[in-house]
Chains A and B, each alone.
Chain A
Amino acid sequence: MAVVTLHGLIERSIDGLLPPYIQKLAGAYREQYATYQPADAKYLQMHKLHLLGVRPEEEKFLTEEFLRETTFTATEEVLRDRLKGFKDAGYNQFVVQLIPGHEDAIEDWARLFAKV
């Protein structure tokens, strides 16, 4: 999701006020994006592994702060409180994405959801 956020910032599909450090990350990613090939279809390189994994040249952008800010990543205790926030806000459903090759994470999520 963190990398998806970066892709979205490049493609301007993600609006809204973002913290300055994310804007700075986006600026740096934009500079990197300018080198992607082919030159007339840079999106092809950028979207390789989109929602599947992280390309080596993207790893440097994934700081602890960025991951915590843009993904639903934390310990069970913290996530349980955040989920209660979604429930209190009135959401009928909370959906978590499972990544190919890591479907066993469903067991972690099931254990967490049972406590909400």
Chain B
Amino acid sequence: MEFGIALFSNVDAWKTVKRAEELGFSHAWFYDSQLLAPDIFISMALAAEHSSKIKLASGVVIPTNRIAPVCADAFATLNKLAPGRIIFGVGTGFTGRNTMGMGPMKLSAMREYIRVVYGLLKGETIEWEFEGERKKIRFLNPEFGMINLTDKIPLHISAFAPKARKMTAEIGDGWITFSASTDRAAHEVGEMAKACREVGRDPKTLYTTAFALGCVLKPGESAASPRRVREPRRRRVRWRWSRCMD
């Protein structure tokens, strides 16, 4: 099993990614959480520039945050910086949309978004609907070498419900879930495997990733023991829960 880190996108994240690479982590995933965190693509670009082996993934892009051609452009540009190390993780958007008072986007709209992004990344001329009109679009100057459409960018989909799992089984290279519980994680991967078989796919061909949040406690340390840390320079008190932050 490989191990990855997930990071709040920020301009210093590359330092942690570099350390992760040194420690043997295989992947670094970045949140697309506008208004909560800084920009994901700026953060990923900096990490790409300062690393050489670790895979860099969006965990996960929210389609409604940017139009599909812009998203394709960002990934093709990242792929130029870190050829073959980029992963397009995508989801219907919980945190990023919840923070703006919205629920997740429609799955059908996400599927269409993925179609446009990947059509462009394959160098195709595709039809794209925008502002009520359908237009043909494509990357105009890939031969100049400023972007990379050659190395594949795998598609990993965050999916928690049956329809989303079915879509993942049909078009995804990978599947992402969130689980702190081993039992629940086993149940979910079982459901994902079932979804694969139902569409005629060998579950082993789908790369599966589980995200979790938590903390490694010292022996005898409580998960809920508070410690107050005073920072004189900042003149404020920061609550710290056994180094376990939510």
Chain A residues engaging chain B, CB cutoff 8 angstroms: 1-4, 7-8, 11, 13, 15, 41, 43-44, 47, 50-54, 56, 59, 62-64, 67-76, 79, 82-83, 85-87, 89-103, 105-114, 116
25 A–B contacts from the bound complex (CB under 8 Å): A13-B94, A50-B36, A52-B8, A53-B246, A54-B241, A56-B239, A62-B224, A63-B224, A67-B223, A73-B180, A73-B223, A75-B218, A89-B182, A89-B185, A90-B189, A91-B189, A93-B26, A93-B209, A96-B5, A97-B6, A100-B10, A103-B16, A110-B25, A113-B3, A116-B1
CB of B99 within 8 A of CB of A50, answer yes
Query: Does the CB pair A64–B95 fall under 8 Å?
Result: no
Cα distance A50–B94 in the bound complex, in angstroms: 12
**With a CB–CB cut-off of 8 A, which chain A residues contact B26?**
93
Chain B residues positioned under 8 Å from A101 (CB to CB) = 245
| B residues adjacent to A (C-beta < 8 A) | 1-8, 10, 15-16, 19-20, 23-27, 29, 31, 33, 36, 59, 94-95, 98-101, 103-104, 160-161, 174, 180-183, 185-186, 189-190, 193, 203, 207-219, 221-224, 226, 239, 241, 243-246
Q: Are B1 and A94 in contact (CB under 8 A)?
A: yes
- Checking A67, A76, A93, A108 against B4 with a beta-carbon cut-off of 8 angstroms, the contacting residue is A93
Given A3-B246, A52-B8, A105 contacting B3 (CB threshold 8 A)? no
Tell me the minimal C-beta distance from B177 to chain A in angstroms. 9
Q: If the complex has contacts A63-B224, A67-B224, A102-B243, are A4 and B213 also in contact, measured as CB distance less than 8 A? A: yes
User: Which of A47, A62, A114 makes the CB contact (< 8 A) with B241?
Assistant: A62
In the complex, which residues of chain A have a beta carbon less than 8 angstroms from the beta carbon of B15? 103
* Contact residue among A13, A43, A72 (Cβ-Cβ distance under 8 Å from B214): A72
User: A95 and B211: CB pair below 8 A?
Assistant: yes
Chain A residues with Cβ under 8 A from B95's Cβ?
A: 4, 47, 50-51
Using known A-B contacts A52-B8, A105-B215, determine if residue A89 contacts B3 with beta carbons closer than 8 Å. Answer: no
**Of A13, A52, A70, A109, the contact of B3 (CB 8 Å cutoff):** A109
- For B26, B27, B98, B216, the residue with the greatest tally of chain A CB atoms inside 10 Å of its CB is B216
Is there an interface contact between B186 and A94, defined as CB atoms closer than 8 Å? no
- The answer to whether A95 and B210 touch across the interface, beta carbons within 8 angstroms, is yes
Select A13's contact among B24, B104, B174, beta carbons within 8 Å. Answer: B104
**A95: which B residues are within 8 A, CB to CB?**
3-6, 27, 29, 59, 209-212
Residues of B within 8 A of A62 (CB): 224, 241, 246
